[in-house]
Chain A
Amino acid sequence: MKSSPDPAMSVLLGASTAPSGSSAASPGTSTAPPDAQAPLAVAPERGAWTLSPPENASAYGDRIDALLARSHGFDLALAAVMLGWMLVAVVRFRGARTVAPDGGTRRSRAWVLGLALGVFGVVDGTLFLGSEGYLRDVLWNFRVPAEDPRTVRIEINAHQWSWEARYAGGDGTFGTKDDVVTWNDLRVPAGVPVWVQLVSTDVVHGFSLPAFRVKLDAIPGRVNQTWFQAAREGAWEVACYQHCGTSHYRMRGMLSAMTPEAYASWLHEAGRQAVQAYDADDAAAHWGWAWRTP
């Protein structure tokens, strides 16, 4: 065994180091060449009262954010109509001396149906069409990562309580000696599709990249997949969104988006060290699978 820290060894160390959480403690970090050191994630200055989603670092996140903003516009409009109507009715008709003693007329009931259909058509229709477009073009469109020769493929294995990520290494094949494995430390090139396949070793976890509008369950017994693309370089957090036990709240990782060159040199160096540290007898470290094609 080599004594220098390297990604493959981090698999072995991981059992003890992983629960402590942050990328700073992750052995994988130290293998990065200096020029690839991504800045630490810094929460942008935001007031506690601003109704804003997390920073967007995804190449496609604007579409979701715009749809969400539109849905909030609808929320506000509907709430205003509801409250306004109630307020006017209560103020105007409180203790009124005359009452319309009927359960509505054909016309008023038709108005109710028409108004409901109109609101339904506009609000639900907008949400449906906007959502459908995003699903077709981005979220469920795996042709983008499948057809792009630059696509980076990552296998992620969720544990109580850490994210173990596997890269195919120089040979492009998973489950070989040069697989690069990191703990709570995802590295991707900016501007390139990243295709993630996801499993869990123990309980159900939730893989989320809040800055990328990505969420996917990690479920024992099945391989789930998603993809995203970083719009720029930087570092953002990986979070677990499914209750997975006592230390659920510490299942935090970092994702660093690097320049493609820095990413390539990191992967090359990490793969070289992985080959040196490879231990054929360590069955627990060989959890990778042949990449699933959809």
Chain B
Amino acid sequence: MKPGAFLKALGASLWTTDPQRVAKQYLWGGFLFLLVGGLLAMLIRFQWAWPGQPVPGLAWALPESKGALTPPAYTAVFTMHGLLMIFFAVTPLLFGALGHFVLPLAIGSPRMAFPRLSAFGFWAYAVGGALMLASFGVRLGAASAGWTSYPPLSTPAFTPGLGQTLVTVAVLCVGVSAFLYGLNFVVTVVRCRAPGMTWGRLPLVVWGLFYGAVLNVLFVPVLAAATGLLLLDRVAGTQFFIAGAAAVGGGGDPVVYQHLFWLFGHPEVYILILPAWGMVGDFVAFFSRKPAHGYRLTAGAMGAVTALSGAVYAHHLFTSGMAPVLGRTFMILTLLISLPAEVMFLNWLMTLWRGSVRLTSPMLAALATMIVFGLGGITGLALGAVATDVPLHGTMWVVGHFHLTMGAASFLAVFAGLYFWFPRLYGRTLHEGLAKAHVVSSAVLFIAVFGGQLVAGYAGQLRRLYDPYQYTFLEHLLTLNRWTSWAAFLLGAAQLLFVVNLVRTLKWGRASESNPWQVGTLEWTDAGPAPVVLRGPHELSQPEVQRQLGRDWIGQAEPLPEEVPAVVPSAKVEVAV
């Protein structure tokens, strides 16, 4: 191949506007950062089990301490763990990979509304990711002010060095990416649905992606504002968030940053969970072989959570000295958001009831997502009320709670989606036994790890402590934390089950059937280039379908043989509406 042709081919493979290929780019990027973020988590767990001891095999990275984490290294490790997992692993896997893959297929559109925005968004994400990785190599190390980057700690006065600046720019880059796919998804769902694909016939995962995309469009710009102002404070000498001591006075106000950050930050946890909820809703229906219970209620409940999500954020600031009227308002709004979540959860449980449950790997992952999300949700109740938040605020209880919801639940949902759509994505069949073992072991170990953190937090252990046992009142928690760490190491090792499965399948896996799960959504049922959608996403076990077709599923755009004349005109009427 001539160099010119090679470069052209390389460019074509790197710059792609095909949503399926963009999805694969995000998939591999997300896996890379999931690996890096996961390894950093192992370091944090090692530190809490053997504080200041040399980490086996880490001497190459920290030669001066012979591989032991030093306090500055530790602060960088937990900061980068949070940022990488949230912005560069889980969100890109849910939206960038699964979203780009399934959203256009599931609504019967051959492409995204703005194909080039997809390509540009991925490269904004890739540049951000490269900056994140580069920050580990600069003098004074990577960012270390916590994933929240509260000023004044995150300003150059207290965190000098290029690392924190690079990471601030990286967050802006990934914000551009998240805003662009958010915009793209919203417009695609609104404008590009196939004829007959009414709002009431969208798969629940499309609802989840749509609501999450709306939140991205609304609130990522708020993050960009906060991060942009912080960047100016870092590089241009402004003082938006730098204040003198009260005794001195003057300057900007760090609390403004906290409000801006959490006005984005709380919707972000719903961004991370809404697509997961959608997948659970769909998969529970698919693998109970019946329509989702209360489809409209579930979609409506997800919408209610979306609407409320920007109005609860200040429960993160209950201890910031807020005016009591604000504290009460945010307490009521926060407690209120549990109501739609309960409706949705009960609908999932009702969907299982009187169905025909099939424990496939995506179903096991969906059930596991339900369990860890449920546990994470109920342990958050005490954090929503001011009085009970105070003793738990800033402790490992909070860490356990949000890791169960936006960590474990989102992670398991990513794998539910991957195990479900992998045959469609790569045309090959994963090993079902390995997939099930991966899902079940991960779920059990997630509960062990984050359950251990909940217990430590209830006993008072504060977050982000290099050596928690400096405090006498936490000394007795060392044994518990060691057990939790062992569970975390096992959890890390359990991921090999997935890696082995993936490599094995990509190399030797047999070709998959065209509709292995026997469901009717458009990504599985080839309905031609211009499908006309006739029915909802979970029309399973319908007696009329079974009588005419002899199977328990029917494609969303598949006419029933005996009803062709009756159904199509009505669909056209709906298109006109």
Give the B-binding residues of A (Cβ under 8 A).
Answer: 21, 41-43, 46-55, 63-64, 67-68, 71-72, 74-75, 78-79, 82-83, 85-86, 89-90, 93-104, 108-109, 112-113, 115-117, 119-120, 123-124, 127-128, 130-132, 134-135, 139-140, 157, 160, 199-204, 206, 208, 210-211, 213-217, 219-225, 236-237, 239-250, 252, 287-289
Contact = CB atoms under 8 A, between A and B. Distances in A.
A75 B381 contact: yes
Interface string B523-567: 000000000000000101111000000001000000000000000
Which interface class (under 10, 10 to 19, 20 to 34, 35 or more) fits B? 35 or more
Given A83-B371, A86-B367, A131 B353 contact: no
Contacts, number: 324
Among the interface residues B370, B394, B473, which one has the most CB atoms of the partner chain A within 10 A? Answer: B473
B297 A128 contact: no
Interface string B314-339: 00000111001001100110011011
A55 B472 CA distance: 12
Contacts of B243: 219-222
Contact of B255 (A222, A242, A252, A288): A222
A215 B339 contact: no
The 9 closest A-B pairs by CB, nearest first: A221-B243, A241-B394, A224-B321, A131-B385, A131-B387, A89-B352, A199-B246, A116-B342, A134-B387
B382 interface: yes
B476 A215 contact: no
5 contacts: A48-B477, A48-B480, A90-B352, A112-B347, A221-B254
Contact of B295 (A21, A103, A130): A103
Contacts of B328: 132, 135
Contact of B245 (A220, A236, A242, A249): A220
Given A116-B343, A201-B245, A220-B152, A89 B353 contact: yes
A173 to B, nearest CB: 16
Interface stretch (B4-12, B17-25, B222-230, B356-364): B356-364
B485 interface: no
B293 A287 contact: no
Contacts of A97: 356
B246 A220 contact: yes
B566 to A, nearest CB: 20
Contact of B476 (A46, A112, A157): A46
A101 B459 CA distance: 48
Contact of A204 (B157, B254, B466, B541): B254
B161 interface: no
B470 A252 contact: yes
Contacts of A71: 381-382, 385, 388
Contacts of B249: 221
A127 B381 contact: yes
Contacts of B335: 124, 127-128
Among the interface residues B345, B354, B370, B541, which one has the most CB atoms of the partner chain A within 10 A? Answer: B354
Nearest to B345: A82
Nearest to B243: A221
Interface stretch (B103-111, B283-291, B429-437): B283-291
Nearest to A75: B378
A103 B291 contact: yes
A248 B464 CA distance: 8
B217 to A, nearest CB: 29
B150 interface: yes
Contact of A41 (B354, B473, B478): B473
Given A219-B254, A219-B255, 11 more contacts: A41-B473, A43-B472, A52-B459, A67-B387, A71-B381, A99-B290, A215-B394, A220-B244, A222-B243, A241-B394, A287-B247
B267 interface: no
A95 B357 contact: yes
A98 B290 CA distance: 10
B541 A55 contact: no
B387 A130 contact: yes
A113 B458 CA distance: 32
A98 B321 CA distance: 58
A245 B158 contact: yes
Contact of B455 (A51, A86, A113, A206): A51
Given A131-B331, A241-B395, A112 B387 contact: no
Given A49-B480, A249-B466, A204 B150 contact: yes
A93 B541 CA distance: 14
Contacts of B386: 131, 135, 139
A200 B328 CA distance: 26
A24 to B, nearest CB: 12
A219 B320 CA distance: 8
B156 interface: no
B454 to A, nearest CB: 9
A124 B331 CA distance: 10
Contacts of A244: 153
B72 interface: yes
Contacts of A48: 476-480
Contacts of B463: 241, 243
Contacts of A140: 324, 327
Nearest to B321: A224
A52 to B, nearest CB: 6
Nearest to B150: A204
B390 interface: yes
Contacts of B387: 63-64, 67, 130-132, 134-135, 139
B343 A202 contact: no
B146 interface: yes
Contacts of A236: 473
Contacts of A221: 243-246, 249, 251-255
Contacts of B358: 94-95
Given A89-B357, A101-B291, A104-B294, A247 B71 contact: yes
Contact of A120 (B72, B290, B338, B477): B338
Contact of A54 (B242, B252, B345, B459): B459
B158 A202 contact: yes
Contact of A113 (B72, B297, B367, B381): B297
B246 to A, nearest CB: 4
A219 B157 CA distance: 16
B305 interface: no
Contact of B339 (A50, A64, A120): A120
Nearest to B536: A103
B379 interface: yes
Given A100-B290, A123-B381, A93 B355 contact: yes
